[in-house]
């Protein structure tokens, strides 16, 4: 059937409109780390941040011989100069022989341009359960490195365990994900890193988990332990709300087995926190997640596997400081796990996340999508 000129023109307009809508709502995606390549069995624990010069830096753990959380693990970085569309070869930030270097949690000091990278370390022969039970040879320690050239080079890591870890704690993790610099209120300028820890609970005689923060008020020169959130919360991310007072929202992996995230707030820069409560709209399979404040779009952005198992990596946005959430996009329907978000310009967000077809740890992929 031959279309009339009018119908042909209308069909062309509708086709163009549909293609535009599809392009606007379908994320651009590119694989950044592919497990099994370049000398590493598995890549895990993504973190992404934008340097002061606009470059994107993607961090992860390069697990040498196996996919587990212990053993010979190096801290790696890749760079993108075009908003995440292409990425450099991997750069080794920290390799301590056969030991475990990981849990990247970077933060940018906007006033100085310095990138600070918080990390954890343990002997490669020690396992988390042994560290928690105090039967390991060593324990988890907290480390710090920094870059003054947008991540081109990094200082030798230094240990800061003494000021950032309670000696009674066993397991410890920085992030994973990113830290923040407070913009408003009496603690403006403070660098805040979300962390978690294990401790021995005297009442139940068990090993329990908690979340906490560490912070710096002198542009990263020294770091102190902040407030603790307990019990049964774990890996966490923090964002500043848009109330103009510097209120912080902590979003946490919950070990209550109710398949929803937990959250708490702080009005004193992370020194004290409200008791954890369920973040009912945010379903989770007990997994790490990401939360950021998108300054230009005036929204909070959240990503995690939005299911009761580690599948359906989904990005959501909130225009009311986390009271309600709207789904933005499902990035991957299949196996997926940890993620890290970064604001891109006025209207976009990037998500660096774990995914695969048979298991969630085959790839670390970067997706770009609109927050509108």
Provide the residue-wise pLDDT of the chain in tens; the chain has 372 residues. 444 544 434 444 334 333 333 334 589 999 999 999 999 999 999 999 999 999 999 999 999 999 999 999 999 999 999 999 999 999 999 999 999 999 999 999 999 999 999 999 999 999 999 999 999 999 999 999 999 999 999 999 999 999 999 999 999 999 999 999 999 999 999 999 999 999 998 888 889 999 999 999 999 999 999 999 999 999 999 999 999 999 999 999 999 999 999 999 999 999 999 999 999 999 999 999 999 999 999 999 999 999 999 999 999 999 999 999 999 999 999 999 999 999 999 999 999 999 999 999 999 999 999 998
Number of domains in the chain: 1
pLDDT confidence of residue 204: 84
**Is 42 within a domain?**
yes
pLDDT confidence of residue 69: 97
Look-up of token digits 């399979």: 285
**Is 89 within a domain?**
yes
Question: Could you tell me which of 187, 61, 79 has the C-alpha nearest to residue 120?
Answer: 61
pLDDT confidence of residue 202: 85
**Is 195 within a domain?**
no
**Is 35 within a domain?**
yes
pLDDT confidence of residue 206: 87
**Is 117 within a domain?**
yes
pLDDT confidence of residue 4: 52
Question: Could you tell me which of 227, 219, 220 has the C-alpha nearest to residue 195?
Answer: 227
Question: Could you tell me which of 353, 360, 365 has the C-alpha nearest to residue 176?
Answer: 353
**Is 146 within a domain?**
yes
pLDDT confidence of residue 72: 98
CATH label of the domain that carries residue 152: 2.120.10.10
pLDDT confidence of residue 224: 98
Give the integer Cα–Cα distance in Å for 366 and 101: 23
Q: What are phi and psi of 241, to 5 degrees?
A: -75, 170
The pTM for the full model equals 0.93
pLDDT confidence of residue 25: 59
113: containing domain: 28-166
**Is 280 within a domain?**
no
pLDDT confidence of residue 315: 98
**Is 93 within a domain?**
yes
Give the integer Cα–Cα distance in Å for 198 and 208: 6
pLDDT confidence of residue 24: 43
């Amino acid at each position: 059937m031959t279309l009339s000129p009018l119908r042909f023109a209308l069909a062309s307009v509708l086709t163009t409109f549909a293609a535009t809508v599809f392009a606007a709502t379908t994320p651009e995606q590119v694989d950044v780390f592919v497990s099994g390549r370049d000398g590493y069995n598995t890549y895990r624990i993504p973190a992404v941040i934008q340097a002061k010069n606009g470059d994107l830096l993607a961090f992860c753990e390069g697990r040498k011989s196996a996919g587990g959380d212990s053993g010979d693990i190096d801290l790696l970085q890749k760079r993108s100069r075009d908003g995440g569309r292409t990425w450099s070869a991997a750069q080794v930030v920290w390799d301590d022989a056969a030991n475990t270097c990981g849990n990247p949690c970077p933060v940018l000091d906007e006033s100085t341009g310095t990138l600070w990278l918080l990390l954890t370390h343990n002997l490669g022969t020690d396992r988390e359960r042994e560290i928690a039970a105090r039967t390991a040879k060593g324990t988890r320690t907290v480390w710090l490195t920094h870059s003054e050239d947008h991540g081109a080079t990094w200082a030798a890591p230094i240990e800061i365990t003494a000021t950032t870890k309670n000696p009674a704690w066993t397991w410890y993790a920085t992030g994973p994900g990113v830290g923040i610099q407070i913009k408003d209120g009496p603690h403006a300028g403070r660098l805040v890193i979300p962390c978690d820890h294990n401790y021995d609970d005297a009442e139940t005689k068990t090993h329990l988990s908690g979340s906490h923060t560490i912070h710096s008020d002198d542009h990263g020169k020294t770091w102190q332990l902040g407030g603790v959130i307990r019990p049964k919360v774990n890996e966490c991310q923090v964002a500043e709300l848009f109330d103009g007072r510097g209120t912080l929202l902590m979003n946490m992996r919950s070990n209550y087995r109710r398949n929803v995230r937990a959250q708490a707030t702080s009005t004193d820069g992370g020194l004290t926190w409200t008791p954890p409560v369920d973040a009912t709209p945010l379903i989770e399979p007990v997994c790490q997640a990401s939360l950021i404040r998108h300054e230009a779009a005036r929204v909070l952005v959240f990503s995690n596997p939005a299911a009761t198992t580690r599948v359906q990596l989904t990005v959501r946005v909130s225009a009311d400081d986390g009271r309600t959430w709207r789904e933005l996009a499902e990035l991957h329907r299949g196996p997926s796990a940890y993620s890290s978000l970064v604001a891109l310009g006025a209207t976009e967000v990037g998500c660096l996340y774990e995914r695969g077809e048979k298991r969630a740890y085959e790839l670390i992929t970067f997706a770009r999508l609109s927050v509108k």
